[in-house]
Amino acid sequence: MPATDVPPYNEMLLPVLEAVAELGGSASINEIVEAVVRREGLSDVQLGVLHKGGPETEIGYRLAWARTYLKAMGLLTNSTRGVWAVTDQGTALLANSSLDGGQQRRERVRDIWLAHLAQLRRERRTGPETTDGAPDAGGSASCRPDGPTDEPGWKEQLLELLMDIRPDAFERLAQRLLREADFDSVNVTGRSGDGGIDGLGVYRLGLVSFPVFFQCKRYRGSVGPGAVRDFRGAMAGRGDKGLLITTGSFTTDAKKEATRDGPSPVDLIDGDRLCDLLRRYDLGVRTTTRTVEDITVDTGFFSEI
């Protein structure tokens, strides 16, 4: 499926805003993506379309731009921990435009969006807005996906690097990550005959601890439910807690399979969350805080001197 079959980011503005409101007024990025996918009825085929060949998905890329623009429009805000929340302005828009089956909402969001684009063009003298999901909005950090706290394309760059390293290096990286996340006795066991299990660690939670098997899958695109079932099968008789780590994304069916009643649950870490974890624990990702000075001329000072 070509990327043109994925809804452009500007058509996702209202669904993203409504999804965050539906989730109680605040939500993580993964919660937003899942809610929008459910609300809009996006298919696994659409979710599997890669942005410029991957490893990031096209829908993830466009939803990132939707969040960014909603923030610039004053309808959403985000914390440094990646939690997005509806602003008072966003709440007012949703409350005051609830008639006509949502038509007023769509028109109001569209008007705010167009006004914001016009302002961007005046300030940055950029070209016309594209409709393929990627805004042509100049080089300002305020117009990068997910706001000024993210360097442009750092996750995509990181995932490409992870795809290029040796398989055993990726396993060692997972081992280091789990150790940083309070796992003990983390061992890489990946070898032929292990049934797809790459390692085992012991997670300590207060006074209790339990073993967790993990599997690392470097993958471009979406990982389906079959991978979850295969990993669970490899764990059978050896443990009841698993962690599946991938550079790609998980389909809706894979997420359902991981948490369905009956078999042992499997926790999932997709490429986006993997990047966030590597950033949190400073593993190959360095965050630099920049200070911006606002300078105001005090006219009263000069009138009284």
CA–CA dist 212, 192 (Å, integer) = 20
Model pLDDT, residue 67: 94
Model pLDDT, residue 36: 93
CA–CA dist 2, 7 (Å, integer) = 11
Model pLDDT, residue 195: 57
Calculate mean pLDDT across residues 135-146: 43
Model pLDDT, residue 3: 60
Model pLDDT, residue 286: 87
Model pLDDT, residue 220: 83
Residue 109 has pLDDT above 70, yes or no: yes
Model pLDDT, residue 194: 53
Asked if residue 182 lies in contact with residue 204, where contact means CB atoms within 8 angstroms, the answer is: yes
Residue 232 has pLDDT above 60, yes or no: yes
Alpha helix segments (H runs only) across 73-207: 88-96, 103-124, 154-164, 167-180
Beta-carbon count within 10 A of 215 CB:
25
Which domains occur in the chain, in start order?
Answer: 3-146 (no CATH), 159-280 (3.40.1350.10)
Residue whose tokens read 């339990």: 210
Model pLDDT, residue 190: 63
Return the percentage of the chain with pLDDT > 70, whole number: 85
pLDDT band (50, 70, 90) for residue 269: very high
Model pLDDT, residue 139: 35
Return the percentage of the chain with pLDDT > 90, whole number: 29
Beta-carbon count within 10 A of 246 CB:
24
Higher pLDDT among residues 191 and 149, named by residue: 191
Model pLDDT, residue 147: 42
Burial 278-302 (b: 16+ CB within 10 A, else e): bbeeeeebeeeeeeeeeeeeeeeee
Calculate mean pLDDT across residues 89-104: 75
CA–CA dist 138, 156 (Å, integer) = 19
Give, in degrees to the nearest 5, the angle at Cα 37 between 32 and 101.
Answer: 90
Measuring CA to CA, how many Å separate 49 from each of 4, 45, 119, 209?
Answer: 10, 7, 32, 39
CA–CA dist 252, 267 (Å, integer) = 14
Name the strands in the sheet holding 26-28, side by side, starting at the edge strand that comes first in the sequence.
26-28, 83-86, 76-78
Beta-carbon count within 10 A of 202 CB:
15
pLDDT band (50, 70, 90) for residue 138: very low
Calculate mean pLDDT across residues 53-71: 87
Q: In this structure, what token pair is assigned to residue 170?
A: 């990726």
- What phi, psi does 283 have (nearest 5°)? -100, 90
- Mean pLDDT over all residues of the chain? 82
Model confidence pTM above 0.85: no
Nearest Cα neighbor of 264 from 224, 233, 292 is 233
Model pLDDT, residue 196: 74
Residue whose tokens read 């829908």: 59
